Structure 1
Amino acid sequence: MRVREMSWTDLVGTEPTRRLPSDPLPAWPLLTMLWGFPLMWVLGLTVVPGAVTMAVVMLGFMLVRRYALWVPGVGALVGLCLWMAASAVMIDTGPRMLGFGFRLAIMSFVAIAFVYTVAARTRLTRRRLVHGLTFLWFFVIVGGVLGMLLPGTRLTTPVGMLLPASISGNSYVRDLFFPPFAEVQHPWGAPEPFVRPSAPFPYANSWGVAILVLTPIALACFMMTRSWLLRCAIIVGAGVMIFPAMATSNRGMFAALALAGAYVLVRYALRDRAAPVITLTLLGLAAGGVLVWQGLFTQFEVRQEYGQSNGARFTLYAETIQRTLASPLLGYGAPRPSAEQALSVGTQGYIWTLMFSFGFVGLALFLAFLWGSTWRTRYCRDDVDVALHATLVVSSLAIIVYGLDIIQLLAIALVAAILLRRRYGLDDDD
């Protein structure tokens, strides 16, 4: 498949021109979202106006300089955003329209960031993006520690305080602008509450999927940096990560991390990279030993005994499929209450959210982007690319049982952009 480098007018049908813009696209709009995310979270600005503003800025730069780069995956993401917008006609209440607006804003930002990252390849280098995403990995770990230390705390953001009660009273909005540091669950019969760290996300599962998406990127950062200080920080971060990860009792997260580790080890072994294979194997065995010693499997058993999450999930998935068949094209615009249990239909996995909210077409477009990017970039040029590709591999499976928030979606899109640039010879080894 050919990659077309083109001016903005080329996107509407004129003959493509092979050129770089005379004034390269700046890196700061996207790097602001990566390095500025902690401050935006504290202020309540992560999606509105943070992501929305940066999306407008990036789109403005591409329009003014009449430059973009069309690679496989762009059409699927842009098409998904348009299809999501069309699904707005299925929204039946104001609160659901509000949630729909947030989801559309997030996906639009991610799509624009993907296109912008490919186009701004001279300034948004692989190194700068990997460092920025690794910084987010550190921040997610810090959030997990805060969730363990202050489980009953909710962050009160300035933006949240400005919202009218009619809006902030919505549970989804409340979790966005007054996020809890941890999910404290009280299942009936459990000997004690389950305290599951979640910050900087509203839900513990979101914390878990952020860890499994960002940890391979942190490994890539370790492989590419020459700074021993940064390497030591990554090792310490990985050690600290074990404790909030255990507190979440998130079986899928641990299984996905094990899969990512096995995938990287096999790929490195096939490349005859003995040193990283031995090092990662020893670190993995040490981490596994600590987890078993700390009683991880006992935690799994206790939570499964009182939570009964598997049965609830399978029942919800069956209902999601049945109800989507009644509106297979546009879906319902947003999740809705289940007729059989307390959970909402269109939750407990991103593919189910897409299927129920935006129909089978919306789901197909997202899978075309994610699974297509994962397949196209399977041939990695170096060790760093192998670690980055593990993010796409585990994400391709994790979406079956986990939802994706703005950070997870952005990380996936940026990794896909990096690897696609390199797949089509548009990037160097930096």
Structure 2
Amino acid sequence: MTTAAPLRPNPGPEPARAGRQPADPPQHAAGGENRRWSLRLPTAWPVTALFVLYPLWWALGLPSFIFAILAVPMAFQLYRRGTVRVPPGFGFWLILLAWVVLSGLMLDITAPNTLTPKGFGRFIGWGIRVLNYTALTVTMLYVLNLSERELPRKRLLKLFGFMAVVTVVGGYVGALFPQLKFVAPLNYLLPAVIAKEPFVYRLMHVEVAQVQEVIAGAASSPRPAAPFEYTNTWGENMAILLIWFIVGWVALARGPRRLLGFLVVAAAVFPIVYSLNRGLWIGLVVGAVYVAVRMALRGRIVVLVGLALATGLAGVAVLASPLGNLINERTANGHSDDIRTTLSNGAVEAANHSPVLGYGGNRALIGSNRSIAIGKSATCKQCGNRELGSNGQLWNLLVGQGWVGALCYSAFFLWCLWRFRHDHTPIGIAGSLVLILMLFFQFLYGALNTTLAYGLISVALLARNDLELRALRREARLAAGQPPTPLALPERRFR
């Protein structure tokens, strides 16, 4: 394997070789023989199916399995290509994958202050995690190794943008029709022993929103979740997808397309606020500040002023509307803060007791954040048996794979962030922001599966953009009659 550091562009069609796709056949001149229609799927069809058909996979109950299913043809294509490029810092990611597998040896060990693990469900959960981590890795490598002809970066931006629109629509459905739920068709095909497992049961009983008691003294609040399993997943995915949508439909768009992009961004405000997702709100603020800093460092004062005005006007409009009261009430009611603190402390304690391999997965906490004698009841539905590792990707890794797994996860994204820090194109800035949000959200939300998939695909997109920038620098040096040198020249914006 090779790393992304020595990525080499493909300047033109290559002769067909073993393990590589043949060059495109010559096209007939105008007025010549008609082109033949082919039923052969395009090379990048698994990526298109992953994005465009995701609402269908969600409705069928397949969101936790579709990545593994589509990873099979992806892996087959990678195998046929022979040499496979890998992103920077991939060694950290390989260690994490190995630790996810090896941590299965600890599934029968009891973590401090947790219930003794029982039942076959823990092995099912561990197997699904191994499968999904592997599948998402294959997805990242697959997108990275596709050529610009096979999957143009603009098309990938369109796929991200499509999912952003779907997520906004899902937010409205969840907010306006919170009681809508149904049983996924796949549920009727599963053996009863598997369908009754809590993890599988939750996937098979599809809900468009989670109705929770978030604001004290108020009725239960419907929080959008569609087309994902949980409202927190909806929130972190909304942030990541909206970033790529803005790149494809605002920053790189013109005319009516850009106007439509602004309208979609404006439409996203209602479900974003209505989700009561403080992590999403903070993430968007972090994103705005990061982009402002990048623009200031590049001397893009006009863009910076425009961004500040748009953000200020949007903030005033939201605060002056009924949504402003909702934000104030949610900010004043941190109903989950005590629970998160208890679970975070428990995850650190578990990692300290098993720092190398962890315990293979989440563990049920004895009692609750209030008392070890308190359990779930009709009057206290949020009491008892909280799961260590359920309050964020970082805490999940600490419990499941110990300090080694948690450090490798963060090190991979930090390494990529540092490696692509000089990419000042829209893709470079947006991709770096996604990596920052991946590091931020790990303290609040779990990443498997969709969020981690979008994060790893973003890494692949950054690496491919870096490949193009290297090619442009080399062309500039050759045009100037300079010998090859590692010195960077000013980049051209991606169009």
Normalised TM-score (structure 1): 0.89
Matched pairs, number: 417
Kept after mapping to 2: 8 A contact 1:84/1:358: yes
- The answer to whether the aligner puts 1:53 opposite 2:79 as a matched pair is no
Letter of the 1:100 partner, please give it: W
- The answer to whether the aligner puts 1:113 opposite 2:112 as a matched pair is no
Q: CA deviation at 1:3?
A: 3.0
For residues 208-232 of structure 1, the C-alpha deviation after alignment (integer angstroms, 9 at most, x for no partner) is 1111122211121124544544323
* 1:208-287 correspondence runs (5 A): 208-223=235-250, 225-226=252-253, 228-287=255-314
- The answer to whether the aligner puts 1:393 opposite 2:436 as a matched pair is yes
Q: CA deviation at 1:427?
A: 6.7
Letter of the 1:245 partner, please give it: I
Q: CA deviation at 1:194?
A: 1.6
* 1:18-417 correspondence runs (5 A): 21-23=20-22, 26-48=43-65, 50-92=66-108, 93-122=119-148, 123-186=150-213, 190-223=217-250, 225-226=252-253, 228-296=255-323, 298-303=325-330, 308-341=335-368, 342=384, 343-417=386-460
Kept after mapping to 1: 8 A contact 2:278/2:331: no
Cα distance in structure 2, aligned partners of 1:226 and 1:85: 44
Cα distance in structure 1, aligned partners of 2:308 and 2:333: 34
Letter of the 1:40 partner, please give it: W
Distance 1:422 1:179, change over 3 A: same
Cα distance in structure 2, aligned partners of 1:135 and 1:66: 32
Q: CA deviation at 1:116?
A: 1.5
Cα distance in structure 2, aligned partners of 1:238 and 1:140: 12
Farther-moved stretch of structure 1 (295-304 vs 32-41): 295-304
Kept after mapping to 2: 8 A contact 1:268/1:276: yes
Distance 1:227 1:286, change over 3 A: same
**Percent of aligned pairs sharing the same letter:** 27
Q: CA deviation at 1:315?
A: 1.7
Distance 1:21 1:74, change over 3 A: farther
Cα distance in structure 1, aligned partners of 2:438 and 2:457: 13
Distance 1:4 1:378, change over 3 A: closer
Normalised TM-score (structure 2): 0.78
Cα distance in structure 1, aligned partners of 2:366 and 2:414: 32
Q: CA deviation at 1:111?
A: 0.8
For residues 300-330 of structure 1, the C-alpha deviation after alignment (integer angstroms, 9 at most, x for no partner) is 5544666532122112111111122222222
Cα distance in structure 1, aligned partners of 2:437 and 2:214: 30
Cα distance in structure 2, aligned partners of 1:41 and 1:423: 33
Distance 1:149 1:317, change over 3 A: same
SS at match of 1:347: coil
Q: CA deviation at 1:95?
A: 1.5
Cα distance in structure 1, aligned partners of 2:271 and 2:471: 37
Farther-moved stretch of structure 1 (185-194 vs 332-341): 185-194
RMSD: 2.6
Q: CA deviation at 1:340?
A: 4.1
For residues 175-234 of structure 1, the C-alpha deviation after alignment (integer angstroms, 9 at most, x for no partner) is 222221111113696331121111122221111111112221112112454454432332
